[in-house]
Amino acid sequence: MNSRRFRLSIFRIGWAVLAAGISCGWFITANARSQSAAVVSNEHLIHDAHFHITNYIQEGTDIRDFLKIMGTRVGRAVLFGLPLQQEWSYENSGDFAPTYYLQTDAPLYYYSFTDAYIAMAYRSLSKEQQGRFDPMITGFNPADMYAADHVRRVLETFPGVFSGIGEFTIHKEFVSAKIAGGPASLQNRALSRLLDFAGEVGLVVLIHSDVDVPFAKFGSEPVYLAQMKALLKRHPKTTIIWAHLGLGRVVRPVKDQAAIVDGILKDPDFNHVYFDISWDEVAKYLGAAPDSTRLMAETINRYPARFLFGTDEVAPDSQEKYLRIYELYRPLWSLLDKETSERVRKGNYERIFDEGRRRARAWETGHVRKPRD
Ligand SMILES: [Zn+2]
């Protein structure tokens, strides 16, 4: 079922509110790296903390074309593909080649080659161009105790490249259950091992986990909230960005989520936790309800250091398409204090990802042997 038909069918069963809403080389020293990252913020509108350069069948935008799309409006961006590959099962869809997870019943599987692809694309750039990107490791199964070992191996194989891990997914409507080998869990020791390792290295973590199940009953506690809070609390030394404000394609109203986000931010046990406001579906939902926009703006103004802008665009082919979500957020931008807006659009990205780069390079210096000449 494609996403449009999907939304229509929800309308038919009377979920009008939901239907309107959430649909989803070798060493370069830390010093040299941070100098090459010297992108002057004022020239740019935004940095992008959530961007997929490839899609569910590992195809996407050439990195040089993407630099042109960023142009002068976007300063920096994270760089990752999609770790899940949609299988084309002939038995299921015949000659129809699915490119999205809603287009077939065939499973998704972890495609680890994505990390090598991202590293090679990054390495093909000049130093100055590299300074605009923060590549992220995604090609691991977060339900596998060996996930942390994969991350270590990628850092050892491609030192000088990666700033973080993610976006990886634990709970996501219609995706989790399709993953070959079974769904991940917030309670799995494998995930804790992964987050411990990210904390040890200093890698920034970008995690997608829906706070609730699809079509949850209104007024009930989100099913995964307690598990997510417990997980976050177990890893105070790891910098974690919770993607999409914790929302998924089909979840409870944003209004309730604003209160949940606020509760997390006021608790010092979660000082290492940040939120990205990416995904055009989230932006549309916020924009459709002025009340939700105002509530979220109040929360962001109260905690200006804790939110990051991101697009969640997948393999865009034009700047117009790429910046659509920035435009959708105009009502939100107008409600933020000037300094808060600046921090959400750029400042927080620079602080968090510069630190991720610096710490990852320092870890590599101590752990990766230089090749012999
Ligand atoms: Zn996501």
Distance 363 CA to ligand 1 centre (A): 28
Give CA–CA dist 289/297, Å, rounded: 12
pLDDT at 99: 92
CA of 227 to the centre of ligand 1 (A): 18
Q: What's the whole-model pTM score?
A: 0.87
Q: What DSSP assignment string belongs to 256-274? A: HHHHHHHHHHHSGGGTTEE
Model confidence pLDDT, tens digit, residues 197-216: 999 999 999 999 998 887 77
Ligand 1 centroid from CA 35, angstroms: 31
Q: How many CB atoms lie within 10 A of CB 3?
A: 14
Name, in order, each residue with C-beta under 8 angstroms of 153's C-beta and a sequence gap of 6 or more.
Answer: none
- Among candidates 165, 158, 167, which has minimal Cα distance to 124? 158
Strand partners, 275: 242, 307
Query: What separation in Å is there between the alpha carbon of 65 and the centre of ligand 1?
Result: 23
Burial class of residue 284 (count of CB atoms within 10 Å of its CB; 0-12, 13-18, 19+): middle
Q: Give the residues of the chain that fall short of pLDDT 70.
A: 1-42, 251-255, 370-373
- What pLDDT sits at residue 8? 40
- Dihedral sign from CA coordinates of 322, 327, 328, 329: positive
Burial (CB count within 10 angstroms: exposed 0-12, middle 13-18, buried 19+), residue 259:
exposed
Q: If you count them, how many residues does the chain have?
A: 373
Bridge partner residues of 165 (DSSP): 137, 205
Q: How far is the CA of 257 from the centre of ligand 1 (A)?
A: 16
Q: How far apart are CA 91 and CA 210, in angstroms?
A: 31
**Ligand 1 centroid – CA 84 distance (Å):** 12
Residue 57 CA to ligand 1 center (angstroms) comes to: 16
Residue-range domains of the chain with CATH:
25-367 (3.20.20.140)
Cα(244) to ligand 1 centroid in Å equals: 7
pLDDT reported for residue 257:
83
Ligand 1 centroid from CA 24, angstroms: 7
CA of 348 to the centre of ligand 1 (A): 19
Alpha-carbon span 208 to 32, nearest angstrom: 32
Which alpha helices (H) appear in the chain, and where do they start and end?
3-12, 16-19, 30-36, 63-70, 90-93, 113-123, 127-130, 147-157, 189-201, 225-234, 254-266, 280-288, 290-302, 319-322, 324-328, 330-335, 338-342, 348-367
CA–centroid distance, 105 to ligand 1, in Å, is 20
What is d(CA 349, CA 353) in angstroms, rounded to the nearest whole number? 6
Phi, psi torsion values for 54, nearest 5 degrees: -125, 165
Angle of CA points 79, 137, 196, to nearest 5°: 130
pLDDT for 1 equals 40
Return the ∠ at Cα 136 (arms to 366 and 326), rounded to 5°: 140
What span, in angstroms and rounded, lies between the C-alpha atoms of 243 and 169? 10
DSSP 205-245: EEEE--SS-TTPPTTSPPTTHHHHHHHHHH-TTS-EEEGGG
Q: How far is the CA of 372 from the centre of ligand 1 (A)?
A: 41
| Nearest residue to 223 (alpha-carbon basis) of 191, 187, 277, 199 | 187
Pairing type for strands 133-137 and 164-169 reads parallel
Omega cis (within 30) before 173: no
